[in-house]
Amino acid sequence: MKLSQRVGMIKPSPTLAVTAKAKALKARGVDVIGFGAGEPDFDTPVHIKDAAKKALDEGFTKYTPGSGADDLKQAIVEKFQRDNGLKYEPGQVIVSCGAKHSLYNLFQAILDPGDEVVIIAPYWVSYPDMALLAGAKPVLVQTSAKKGFRPDPKDLEKALSPKTKLVVLNSPSNPAGAGIPGEQLKEIASVLEPGDFWIVSDEIYEKIVYDGFQHISIASLGEKLFQKTIVVNGLSKSYSMTGWRIGYAAGDKDVVKAMSNIQDQSTSNPTSFAQKGAVAALNGGEDDLRKMVKEFGARRDWIVKALEEIPGVRCSNPEGAFYVFPDISVYLGKSFQGKKINNSTELSDYLLDQAKVAVVMGSAFGAEGFIRLSYATSMKNIQEGVKRIADALKKLE
Ligand SMILES: *Cc1c(COP(=O)(O)O)cnc(C)c1O
């Protein structure tokens, strides 16, 4: 029996695939250093775990409202007001099984076949596939390492058409860690304000920023932008809660209602006691977060410098997230033992086979000639891993 046409259009998540491959090698006893992980290497803070345990002990183990429990929606409303200056009603908020799930619901709720979704490359792997699953067409806007992987407002303008239904923003970004500063965001905002389409702003890395970078939500740049933007965020990255699966979105009441209907007919509510943990996280201050960001910052400084010291490798200094996205294109076309390495996928395979280092090929994010390294691993691993990469690249001729 044939599978659906829909599923034939998408591919497995390459980032999850790399992580799985590295884990499988490790399980066989191979000493692999993983730069693939898209998750913090810190444990979930204790007060968050305690809140979930308490919820379990108190029997908070039943269905909650499909779009999330009232106390969590209230905590999210307060978070948006406190951190982003955004005023939402609880009815404009949906809690989902991760930010990814909120994004999926959104794409399903607003896109029809023939619609275009403008996506900035390099992009988070799921955006194009989510557009395809909704029958829509991804339209890519390329950026360059030279401009810090930030979109040129003019390029963004050129990508818009009467078919544009959604524009996806992600600052700081995955995979490049690119953060759009206020001035440039205002230019982008004036390009995006007039058109008849939605904006989704994926702000999951808003708090993982360095050197005083200030995240600003495009939804806060005026009433019209507030109306047309759906802000997506989640607990996974800021609170080391990837496995808890709690994310959320806020925006236009009708859009959020449509997303809730989709969620009601597919997953129902996110896990009840995980929601209690999320309330504790959002209301619990940022001490743990600050410690984590400080450590990430030190690792970022080290890895950017070390990568830049490898002959031919160029690495921009990211404003946020926990990834670096170096340009390794000088090594493409070179060979190892007579076998030519043609692209970033083959280079990633080479690094895994020969150097026992897992990285993700740039092509997965729409940027050939680059690789992504997550520095959500110990400084010791980072130092050993970068040394292995440098040695392996030296062997190419
Ligand atoms: C990790 C990530 C997400 C999804 O996070 P959840 O675990 O589903 O909350 C969404 N967007 C980007 C850019 C990410 O890196």
- The answer to whether 166 and 107 are in contact (CB under 8 A) is yes
CATH architecture of 47-283: 3-Layer(aba) Sandwich (3.40)
- Taking the centre of ligand 1 as the mean of its atom positions, its distance from the CA of residue 58, in whole angstroms, is 30
- Predicted pLDDT of residue 346: 94
pLDDT (tens digit, 0 to 9) for every residue of the chain, 397 residues total?
Answer: 899 988 888 887 777 777 888 888 989 999 999 998 889 999 999 999 999 999 999 999 999 999 999 999 999 999 999 999 999 999 999 999 999 999 999 999 999 999 999 999 999 999 999 999 999 999 999 999 999 999 999 999 999 999 999 999 999 999 999 999 999 999 999 999 999 999 999 999 999 999 999 999 999 999 999 999 999 999 999 999 999 999 999 999 999 999 999 999 999 999 999 999 999 999 999 999 999 999 999 999 999 999 999 999 999 999 999 999 999 999 999 999 999 999 999 999 999 999 999 999 999 999 999 999 999 999 999 999 999 999 999 999 9
Q: Which amino acid is it at 18?
A: V
Task: State the pLDDT at residue 37.
Answer: 82
Cα separation, 260 vs 263, in Å, equals: 5
Looking at residue 15, its pLDDT comes to 74
Backbone angles phi, psi at 15, to 5 degrees: -70, -40
Closest-lying ligand 1 atom to the alpha carbon of residue 235:
9
Handedness of CA 153, 154, 158, 162 (dihedral sign): positive
Distance 151 CA to ligand 1 centre (A): 20
Q: Which atom of ligand 1 is nearest to the CA of 38?
A: 1
Ligand 1 centroid from CA 204, angstroms: 6
The domain locations on the chain are 5-43+288-394, 47-283
- Pick from 200, 204, 282 the residue to mutate for probing ligand 1's pocket: most ligand atoms within 8 Å of its CB: 204
The CATH homologous superfamily of the domain defined by 5-43+288-394: Aspartate Aminotransferase, domain 1 (3.90.1150.10)
Q: What is the pTM of this model?
A: 0.97
The SS3 assignment for 23 reads helix
Most informative mutation of 202, 248, 322 for ligand 1 (most atoms within 8 A of CB): 202
Closest approach atom of ligand 1 to CA 97: 8
CA 102 / ligand 1 centre spacing (Å): 10
Question: What is the pLDDT at residue 16?
Answer: 77
Alpha-carbon span 179 to 148, nearest angstrom: 8
d(CA 246, CA 239): 11
* Centre of ligand 1 from the C-alpha of residue 51, in Å: 23
Q: Among the atoms of ligand 1, which is closest to the Cα of residue 102?
A: 8
- Determine the distance separating the centroid of ligand 1 and the alpha carbon of 15, expressed in angstroms: 12
Cα torsion angle, 131, 132, 138, 143, sign: positive
Q: How far is the CA of 247 from the centre of ligand 1 (A)?
A: 8
- Identify the residue whose tokens are 């999330």: 68
Residue 220 phi/psi, 5-degree rounding, is -90, 5
Ligand 1 pocket list (CB less than 6 A): 38, 98-100, 124, 170, 174, 202, 204, 234, 236-237, 242, 247
